Structure 1
């Protein structure tokens, strides 16, 4: 008699086969995303490309000028445009893409950032390279042409390298100055574990990138960036139900049913709880950077109030960490099925959000935190090789 709690039908051979099918199907979805992005529908990538174009043209401050960005982006034939609100160091990254025609820049951006993310994730889990490549959390980010693959590469690389190359790990994590709300827990995580080399490297990386962008782009660009904070504030003030459904956070979902101020208070309490778990994880996992890092990344998906499903490629690390522990030490009842659900969660919860009227990704993140925490103990080092 088959015990569904064990999911014994999911053999390594079937995992590889399903991963290949998922990759092939995703190619068709990416082609469809490119056709929409280069047509009247447009794409989030328009903001990056428009900012990159004016930066490459020698006018980086205009990346934050709404009138200029509207004109530049609509010239592609899109019927919509997007404000650029990322910090100035991100201009170093988008400037080369602004020198390309938009259709080609979209392809180069998706291919380049996916390759960086895949390189970091496969180095962390070389035995599972095929399911890593097919991770739906990365594929949804690719379809949106957002920066989740790039930030995912920094987070995965930083966590995976912490025990072996702390200075490089810290430098990667500090580069999250390009999207700092993804780094909410990182300083506390590093400090709690006494990883001071990585802590210092992260600080130097963040401050260095800010200083370099100031020197390269000028004070006018730094001041223009501060005006973009008003744009972000307005976006949140006029947010409707569809916007909150696209957020993959407890704050976003609670805002559907209660005043935003109350939802934010609950979010702050949740963030404090995730911070507490992150800090004490070093004792629970025996100073193992990969284990505590897996928990920290899972907690990040709950702690940050402003995340979309395309921001979640970094969840490949906590999901695959559970796979390593399950394969090495045995699976608990229902655990394998839960990990399968978590593997698909970034994509599936986004697809179901509008039809269901709620985005279930925050609950998936909570399940991920619980599964990692209850695993406890320090894993054998050979599990990471």
Structure 2
């Protein structure tokens, strides 16, 4: 894997340069919405971040003919406004470098021995190429799990900050409650409420109300989703909807969400109260349960992947486990690369395999440690 990682690192630099170049073209990239939202704050009009006509005018001033609606909650504006001080090409680079560095630092702290596999994780490459917020949410999820035992309050603060993209925290409250981690739950609640109140105080009531108007934009995107859009999504819901329609997809998704909640809550008994093991399963299950998820949202899967590697190095690898881990390490990038030609995004299946490996490894590793 070190050899693969070095080769992939070289290729990644070329691919990232291509992504940056393409982001300057007529279609730009998702980051343009963040940059435009930051411009609204610099102009003293934070509510304009959610004004579609304002965003179109500001974003197309960068030279792009395409533009994107900004739909993130108001606290996310605190993160994006400094980057609007730069021109769009420089802001793109700065956003990728800074958010990647934060995610990498948090992930390396959790798995210091496996630092090289962190730095060139393909799930990080696709997040960098899109200049989306996968590194930010990935750092919050990985940090929250890794710090749960040692610094439960800080763990809760990180989880609470997921108010910027709350659907990625779908399983977190159930996981924490089942483990009896009440200090972390209280810290998470205080963090989420505190960020919302800070945004209200700093950005005003108009901005908070304007955010609710963005819900219609998000709803319109999903109503109009065509096959290409659904294939770019990495959820079981999107792939079922592609072949069976929205009603069936929602029914299947509802069953899956309930099943993942039940398994995440049961994981504490199954894995002997091991926070890293149950947290690894919770993150793998998040990639299964979420209805709205793209491959660039998946840097958080570095934790369950490297937890499996670490346990394998400690306890010995099971038959075929090394090969499966190599495939899963590449999966966030590879499944997106082949989704349009194949007509199916296989990332949900990869997430299910990852969750199964964690579940079965967690049981045997815990038994080994007890013996």
Match of 1:259 in 2: 245
The reply to whether residue 194 of structure 1 matches residue 180 of structure 2 is yes
Match of 1:41 in 2: 27
Distance 1:131 1:125 in 2: 9
Match of 2:133 in 1: 147
Match of 2:119 in 1: 133
Distance 1:312 1:146 in 2: 11
Deviations 1:86-117 (A, max 9, x none): 00000000011111110110000000000000
Deviations 1:265-306 (A, max 9, x none): 100100110111100100111111111000000000011100
Contact residue 282 and residue 288 of structure 1 kept, 8 A: yes
Equivalent position to 1:333, from 309, 313, 319: 319
Distance 1:59 1:48 in 2: 15
Q: CA RMSD in A?
A: 1.1
Match of 2:99 in 1: 113
The reply to whether residue 221 of structure 1 matches residue 207 of structure 2 is yes
Match of 1:94 in 2: 80
The reply to whether residue 321 of structure 1 matches residue 307 of structure 2 is yes
Match of 1:3 in 2: none
Contact residue 291 and residue 378 of structure 1 kept, 8 A: no
Distance 2:170 2:304 in 1: 17
Match of 1:268 in 2: 254
Unaligned runs of 5+ in 2: none
Cα distance, 1:173 vs. partner?
Answer: 0.8
The reply to whether residue 359 of structure 1 matches residue 345 of structure 2 is yes
Contact residue 102 and residue 139 of structure 2 kept, 8 A: yes
The reply to whether residue 234 of structure 1 matches residue 220 of structure 2 is yes
Equivalent position to 1:57, from 43, 51, 56: 43
Contact residue 27 and residue 67 of structure 2 kept, 8 A: no
**TM-score, normalising length from structure 2?**
0.97
Aligned residues: 367
Contact residue 170 and residue 290 of structure 2 kept, 8 A: yes
Cα distance, 1:378 vs. partner?
Answer: 7.5
Distance 1:162 1:379 in 2: 19
Cα distance, 1:241 vs. partner?
Answer: 0.2
Contact residue 33 and residue 144 of structure 1 kept, 8 A: yes
Match of 1:167 in 2: 153
Equivalent position to 1:72, from 58, 62, 78: 58
Match of 2:363 in 1: 377
Cα distance, 1:376 vs. partner?
Answer: 2.8
